[in-house]
Amino acid sequence: MMKIAVPSRNGQVDEHFGHCKEFLVFRLEGGQLISEPAIASGDSCGCKSGIASDLARAGVTHLVAGNMGEGALRVLVANGIAVTRGATGDVSSAVHAFAEGALVDSGAGCASHDAHGHAEGHSCEHGHHGAAAGVVTPSRNLR
């Protein structure tokens, strides 16, 4: 079974993984997407909060995101979560495009954390941004 999480804010794919309000979760079962309870993002940047392990414990196997830094990407992949970046707009549309194999990884990471308005003195402990190896991009997930 595939379980997909999408970092979101107000029903839209959040532009940056570490700033989302919550993760909307969907289970792909028998070619159908079934909504599951959302997972709160916590109070801090996604790359420091342990959210990758929280998502993995919840059974998430894939993350469909707008963008994220290399550190967050590496932590997700290390937790067994395949990542596809480049999603935009409505979460429902993005997750359907992913499930149909129409969404491919953009390969682009954040150029700088500073560009996203982190709090003064914030630094991400995982080092840094740009495209990373280890990203898994599905093709035709509905099979």
Domain count, the chain: 1
Domain containing residue 65: CATH number: 3.30.420.130
Q: Is residue 127, in this structure, part of any structural domain at all? A: no
**pLDDT higher than threshold 90 for residue 60:** yes
Which tops the pLDDT comparison, 17 or 122? 17
**Range name among 43-47, 110-114, 136-140 with the lowest pLDDT average:** 136-140
Q: CA dihedral defined by 79, 109, 68, 105, rounded to 10 degrees?
A: -70
pLDDT higher than threshold 50 for residue 27: yes
Does the pLDDT value for residue 97 go beyond 70? yes
Residue 102 lies in a domain: yes
Q: Which is nearest to 125 in space by CA: 139, 109, 113, 143?
A: 113
Structural domain for 60, as ranges: 2-106
Asked whether residue 114 is assigned to any structural domain, the reply reads no
Per-residue confidence band for 67, with pLDDT thresholds at 50, 70 and 90: confident
Are the CB atoms for 85 and 130 separated by under 8 Å? no
